């Protein structure tokens, strides 16, 4: 099964009952899989007239208390940003899968990590954040999408699954049996009709002076809690490492290949830290390793976006370098090894 | 020169041809066959604008252990279906690798003298036409590739064909099985020590 | 040795000057190529090559600028009428047209389409209706026919879920400042000539500052209709025209309605 199909399947197993999307390559397999399966499994599928409409359909479905998802690729996600800001402001759970492609503008459909800023900084207007999970295998496409629904309901916040064209398009064997129907979350805030209870209002507007600041403080407290409890990363061969590579998604897979190479082809022992949550970012984990290693190499398929977070985490404890490819190009294992040798050999 | 023992080592394959030749199907059949034997597989297709009118290719990695990068830089085996792909990928193979090539559409020129690889020349398009369906050239090549490498059992491929061709396509099962057999035979003849 | 004779040849039919001599990326039997050619002929015949500006869509025709030798701009998916508005308002003496698919024009860009039409922008819209999304591999379009199977309507378009196909010309005909609306197709030489006539009229109206014009072309997509080019033409003639009747839907020429 392809990564895109796995994401759709993971969503349905997490109890997703509403999907709205608009076609865009390289995530068309998600929308096709949803169109095919969701109606047969008791859910609702809508091909929206645009990404703008799709994200606002989610606003409605989520306000009604139903687990819901949309998916798109970079230009489409740009269009969704206003809606995502509204979801965050109104504290509505929703899952957004972004199988990103190369920009800016129409760019091309090659795999890219150029949406790192858009995804981790909030993306739209105002002060908000969305937890973002970065799968690097087809298995994780299913598992992280499933997990995204749990996080979304737990924190009443939109959650992004941040993949790229490579993990979306590739096929691998997938195990799904462990993705059991989840325990339903109570949603006393949902709009169901005010029968036998005070009415509910879903909104982000706070017109009374001072109220909006209070609302923002509450949101920030929630984000602080997410930062404390939801950081996820995978460390490989980090304990003994002289040099650390930081990479996520597709780049992490390629870097992982390099770590497995015989040491004579590398400058000493190389470890890999792979952020699984891009936000919240594994700052503490990177800082700890930065105390011990000679340097860090960040590998990204963009002009250098995550490297800014790595530098903030390292805070000058050791040098931080960047290996980047742009415009849909993917770094090769050899390039990574050569760069490591050139920097630390 | 020896081919890899694919039961114990990782095997990286690039399959390429033009869109419509069944390149991606070939890759999927190979993956499904190896997967049914408990191997780890990754399948990475070229996608999108590259596909319309142009060449299609996929990277397949088959391994007894966990696979990290699904990209193939230097292939252990190349399966090439047309000339444009031959030009593009002719050097993307390691010394000692295997080239299975559709000689109905590809002229090898001096390739064999300049490259240290085992070449399995299969006139796949012609042979498929003889079987009555030029579209099964891909499965013919798969048959030859499987025979040459022993990467999976023939039974697994037969089963994969049945799994993939469902509904209206199921009437093509028989001709595909024939193509598989023809490919196997051709490889057996070609591989016999002269 | 053969006898050689001089024969006087007259060119009756040649590649239009502004049609660039390169193979297109379109699939065999696709309607986009035919419309490009006709468009190029019209630009030549009206002698407007040097003052015409095209807006390419996001869709299979995204590369239209590679084929017709005039100034072009890209626009975000669905936004060509907005881009055209900007261009035309600051350069009212230039001939500005958009070239859009059904997804681009009638789905994501419907708001732009309606508002450019309602404002009566003096532009020409070329609307390629192939009842599917070509570029993204065959999903439902707003013009997909009832019952038609696509990637996102695997059981056929169901009006209960997705509504009925949108008839753009009929929809726009109610806007007072819309001057010319016509629907044509490319299924035969006669049909192509007719399409050319209508499209040329639309451009003439723009030159004469009559106002907003749109020509819809029912166009085959053999790849995602999963038909041969000939079957596509039969499908258009026998089935598609029932939902999308051919002809002039609105024609209010200059002066007639007195609001100019
Ligand atoms: C914001 C945004 N959403 C989606 C896409 C993907 N996309 C590209 S073309 C297209 C639709 C193509 O269909 P149509 O306009 O009917 O033109 P055709 O390809 O059929 O000629 C879509 C959805 C995009 N490029 N940008
Ligand atoms: S996919 Fe359809 S619309 Fe696009 S080029 Fe091919 S035939 Fe034409």
Q: Which two tokens stand for residue A294?
A: 């000679």
Q: Does B53 touch chain C (CB under 8 A)?
A: yes
Vertex A133 angle, CA A129 and A137, to 5°: 165
pLDDT band for position B19 (cuts 50, 70, 90): confident
Length of chain A: 345
Range scoring the smallest mean pLDDT among B124-133, B163-172, C146-155, C180-189: B163-172
> C179 near C210, Cβ under 8 Å?
yes
Residue B72: closest C-alpha in chain A = A332
The protein residue with its alpha carbon nearest to ligand 1, atom 13, reads C133
> A246 near A297, Cβ under 8 Å?
yes
d(C-alpha C137, C-alpha A303), whole Å: 30
CA-based nearest residue to A133, from A158, A169, A166:
A158
d(C-alpha A189, C-alpha A62), whole Å: 11
d(C-alpha B60, C-alpha B41), whole Å: 7
- Residue B51 has what pLDDT? 44
> B43 near C17, Cβ under 8 Å?
no
Distance A76 CA to ligand 1 centre (A): 11
pLDDT at residue B4 tops 80: no
Question: What share of chain C has pLDDT > 70, as a percent?
Answer: 96
pLDDT band for position B3 (cuts 50, 70, 90): low
Indicate whether residue C32 lines ligand 2 (CB < 6 A).
yes
pLDDT in tens, C95-147: 999 999 999 999 999 999 999 999 999 999 999 999 999 999 999 999 999 99
Burial zone of A184 (CB within 10 Å; 0-12 exposed, 13-18 middle, 19+ buried): exposed
Nearest ligand to residue C226 Cα: 2
Q: How far is CA C66 from CA A110, C16, C127, C219, C221, in A?
A: 21, 15, 19, 20, 20
Q: Where are the beta strands (DSSP E) in B46-187?
A: 55-63, 75-80, 93-102, 118-122
The protein residue with its alpha carbon nearest to ligand 2, atom 1, reads C134
Residue C56 pairs in a beta bridge with: C74
Distance A110 CA to ligand 2 centre (A): 20
C97 φ/ψ angles, rounded to the nearest 5 degrees: -130, 155
Please tell me which of the candidates B31, B45, B69 has its beta carbon nearest to residue A253. Answer: B69
Q: Which residue has the higher pLDDT, B8 or A297?
A: A297
d(C-alpha C241, C-alpha C185), whole Å: 9
Residue B49: closest C-alpha in chain A = A109
Nearest ligand to residue A80 Cα: 1
The domains found in chain B, sorted by start residue, are 3-187 (3.40.920.10)
Which 8-state DSSP code applies to residue A121?
Answer: S
Please tell me which of the candidates C74, C151, C162 has its beta carbon nearest to residue A28. Answer: C151
State whether the Cα torsion B82-B88-B90-B94 is positive or negative.
negative
Task: Enumerate the residues of chain A whose CB falls inside 8 A of the CB of residue B69.
Answer: 253-254, 256-257, 333
Distance from CA of C107 to the nearest CA of A (A): 5
Nearest ligand to residue A52 Cα: 1
Indicate whether residue C130 lines ligand 2 (CB < 6 A).
yes
C30: left (phi over 0), alpha (psi -120 to 50) or beta: beta
- Residue C13 has what pLDDT? 85
- Residue B55 has what pLDDT? 78
* Domain C32-250 of CATH type 3.40.50.970: yes
d(C-alpha A134, C-alpha A167), whole Å: 10
Q: Which residue has the tokens 């000057």?
A: C17
Q: Does A36 touch chain B (CB under 8 A)?
A: no
Q: Which two tokens stand for residue B22?
A: 């069944």
pLDDT in tens, B39-74: 999 999 987 554 455 679 999 999 999 999 999 999
d(C-alpha C64, C-alpha C99), whole Å: 8
d(C-alpha C223, C-alpha B26), whole Å: 21
> A8 near A35, Cβ under 8 Å?
no
* Average pLDDT of the residues in C14-20: 95
* Average pLDDT of the residues in C53-68: 96
Query: What is the CATH number that goes with domain A3-229?
Result: 3.40.50.970
> B165 near B37, Cβ under 8 Å?
no
Please tell me which of the candidates A23, A105, A106 has its beta carbon nearest to residue C139. Answer: A23
As separate numbers, helices (DSSP H) first and strands (DSSP E) second, chain B gives 7, 6
pLDDT at residue B6 tops 70: no
Q: Does C94 touch chain B (CB under 8 A)?
A: no
CA-based nearest residue to A72, from C108, C131, C157:
C108
Please tell me which of the candidates C110, C139, C154 has its beta carbon nearest to residue A49. Answer: C110
State whether the Cα torsion A212-A217-A220-A226 is positive or negative.
negative
What is the value of pTM for the model shown? 0.94
Burial zone of C159 (CB within 10 Å; 0-12 exposed, 13-18 middle, 19+ buried): exposed
Domain locations along chain A: 3-229, 233-344
Asked whether the beta carbons of residue C108 and residue A106 sit closer than 8 angstroms, the reply is no
> A334 near B73, Cβ under 8 Å?
yes
A70 φ/ψ angles, rounded to the nearest 5 degrees: -135, 165
Q: Which residues of chain A have pLDDT under 70?
A: none
Q: Which residues of C206-233 are buried (b: 16+ CB within 10 A; e: fewer)?
A: beeebbbbbbbbbbbbbbbbebeeeebb
Task: Enumerate the residues of chain C whose CB falls inside 8 A of the CB of residue B53.
Answer: 25, 27
* Domain A233-344 of CATH type 3.40.50.920: yes
Distance from CA of B132 to the nearest CA of C (A): 21
- Residue B49 has what pLDDT? 56
Helices (H), A38-98: 51-63, 74-89
Q: Which residue has the tokens 């490989």?
A: A236
- Residues contacting B169, CB < 8 A, separation 6+: none
- Residue C253 has what pLDDT? 78
Q: How far is CA C85 from CA A41, C70, C251, in A?
A: 45, 18, 21
Nearest ligand to residue C137 Cα: 2
Count other Cβ atoms within 10 Å, centred on residue C23.
Answer: 8
The protein residue with its alpha carbon nearest to ligand 1, atom 3, reads A76
Atom of ligand 2 nearest to the CA of C138: 1
pLDDT at residue C212 tops 80: yes
Asked whether the beta carbons of residue A109 and residue B42 sit closer than 8 angstroms, the reply is no
Three-class secondary structure of residue A254 per DSSP: helix
Q: Does C62 touch chain B (CB under 8 A)?
A: no
- Show the 3-state SS of C151-174: CCECCCCCHHHHCCCCCHHHHHCC
Chains B, C: CB contacts within 8 A come to: 4
Q: Which residues of B161-181 are buried (b: 16+ CB within 10 A; e: fewer)?
A: beebbeeeeeebeebbbbbbb
d(C-alpha A173, C-alpha A236), whole Å: 22
Q: Which residue has the higher pLDDT, C254 or A263?
A: A263
Indicate whether residue C100 lines ligand 2 (CB < 6 A).
no
Please tell me which of the candidates A47, A52, A106 has its beta carbon nearest to residue C74. Answer: A106
Residue A170: closest C-alpha in chain B = B44
- Residue C258 has what pLDDT? 39
Kindly list the protein residues whose Cβ atom lies closer than 6 A to any atom of ligand 1: A 22-24, 51, 75-76, 79; C 57-61, 77, 101-104, 128, 130, 132-136, 141
């Amino acid at each position: 099964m392809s990564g895109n199909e796995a994401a759709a399947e993971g969503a349905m197993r997490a109890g997703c009952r509403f999907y709205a999307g608009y076609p865009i390559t390289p995530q068309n397999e998600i929308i096709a899989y949803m169109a095919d399966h969701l109606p047969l499994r008791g859910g609702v599928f809508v091909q929206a007239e645009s990404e703008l409409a799709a994200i606002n359909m989610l606003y409605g479905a989520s306000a009604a208390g139903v687990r819901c998802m949309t998916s798109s690729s970079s230009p489409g996600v740009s269009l969704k940003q206003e809606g995502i800001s509204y979801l965050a402001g109104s504290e509505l759970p929703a899952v957004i899968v972004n199988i990103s492609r190369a920009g800016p503008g129409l760019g091309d459909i090659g795999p890219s990590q150029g949406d790192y800023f858009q995804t981790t900084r909030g993306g739209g207007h105002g002060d908000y954040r969305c937890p973002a999970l970065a799968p690097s295998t087809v298995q994780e496409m299913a598992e992280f999408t499933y997990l995204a629904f749990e996080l979304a309901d737990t924190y009443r916040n939109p959650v992004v699954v941040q993949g790229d064209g490579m993990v979306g398009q590739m096929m691998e064997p997938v195990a799904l049996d462990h993705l059991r129907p989840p325990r339903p979350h109570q949603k006393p805030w949902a709009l169901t009709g005010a029968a036998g209870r005070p009415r509910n209002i879903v909104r982000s507007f706070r017109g009374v002076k001072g109220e909006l600041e209070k609302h923002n403080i509450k949101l920030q407290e929630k984000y602080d809690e997410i930062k404390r409890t939801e950081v996820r990363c995978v460390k490989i061969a980090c304990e003994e490492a002289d040099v650390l590579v930081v990479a996520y998604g597709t780049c992490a897979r390629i870097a992982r290949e390099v770590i497995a190479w015989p040491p004579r082809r590398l400058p000493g022992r190389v470890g890999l830290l792979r952020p699984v949550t891009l936000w919240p970012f594994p700052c503490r984990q990177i800082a700890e390793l930065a105390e011990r290693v000679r340097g860090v190499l960040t590998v990204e398929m963009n002009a250098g976006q995550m490297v800014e977070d790595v530098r903030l985490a390292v805070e000058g404890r050791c040098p931080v370098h960047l290996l980047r490819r742009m415009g849909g190009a993917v770094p090769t294992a050899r390039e990574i090894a050569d760069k490591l040798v050139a920097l630390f050999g | 020169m020896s081919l890899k023992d694919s039961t114990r080592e990782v095997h990286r394959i690039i399959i390429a041809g033009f869109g419509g030749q069944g390149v991606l199907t070939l890759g999927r059949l190979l993956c499904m066959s190896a997967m049914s034997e408990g191997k780890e597989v990754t399948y990475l297709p070229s996608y999108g604008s590259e596909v319309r009118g142009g060449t299609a290719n996929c990277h397949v990695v088959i391994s007894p252990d966990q696979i990290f990068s699904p990209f193939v830089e230097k292939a252990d085996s190349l399966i090439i279906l047309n000339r444009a792909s031959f030009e593009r990928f002719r050097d993307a193979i390691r010394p000692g690798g295997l080239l299975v090539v559709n000689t109905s559409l590809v002229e090898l020129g001096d390739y064999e003298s300049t490259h240290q690889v085992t070449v399995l020349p299969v006139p796949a398009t012609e042979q498929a036409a003889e079987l009555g369906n030029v579209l099964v050239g891909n499965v013919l090549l798969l048959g030859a590739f499987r025979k040459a490498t022993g990467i999976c059992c023939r039974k697994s491929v037969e089963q994969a064909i049945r799994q993939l061709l469902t509904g209206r396509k199921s009437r093509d099962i028989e001709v595909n099985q024939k193509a598989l057999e023809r490919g196997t035979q051709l490889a057996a003849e070609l591989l016999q020590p002269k | 040795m053969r006898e050689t004779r001089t024969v006087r040849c007259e060119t009756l039919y040649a590649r239009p000057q502004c049609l660039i001599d390169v193979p297109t990326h379109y699939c065999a039997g696709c309607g986009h190529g035919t419309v490009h050619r006709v468009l190029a002929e019209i630009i030549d015949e009206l002698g407007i090559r040097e003052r015409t500006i095209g807006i390419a869509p996001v869709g299979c025709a995204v590369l239209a600028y590679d084929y017709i030798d005039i100034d072009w701009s890209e626009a975000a998916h669905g936004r060509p009428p907005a881009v055209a508005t900007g261009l035309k308002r600051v350069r009212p003496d230039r001939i500005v047209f958009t070239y859009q698919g059904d997804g681009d024009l009638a789905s994501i860009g419907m708001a732009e389409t309606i508002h450019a039409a309602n404002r009566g922008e003096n532009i020409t819209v070329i609307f390629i209706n192939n009842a599917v999304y070509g570029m993204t591999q065959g999903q439902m379009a707003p013009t997909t026919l009832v019952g038609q199977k696509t990637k996102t309507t695997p059981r056929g378009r169901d009006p209960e879920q997705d509504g009925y196909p949108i008839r753009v010309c009929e929809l726009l005909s109610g806007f007072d400042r819309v001057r010319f609306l016509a629907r044509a197709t490319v299924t035969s030489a006669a049909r192509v000539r007719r399409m050319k006539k209508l499209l040329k009229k639309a451009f003439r109206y723009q030159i004469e500052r009559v106002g907003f014009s749109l020509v819809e072309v029912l166009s085959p997509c053999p790849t995602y209709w999963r038909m041969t080019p000939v079957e596509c033409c039969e499908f258009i003639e026998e089935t598609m025209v029932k939902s999308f009747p051919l002809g002039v839907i609105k024609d209010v020429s200059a002066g007639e309605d007195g609001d100019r």
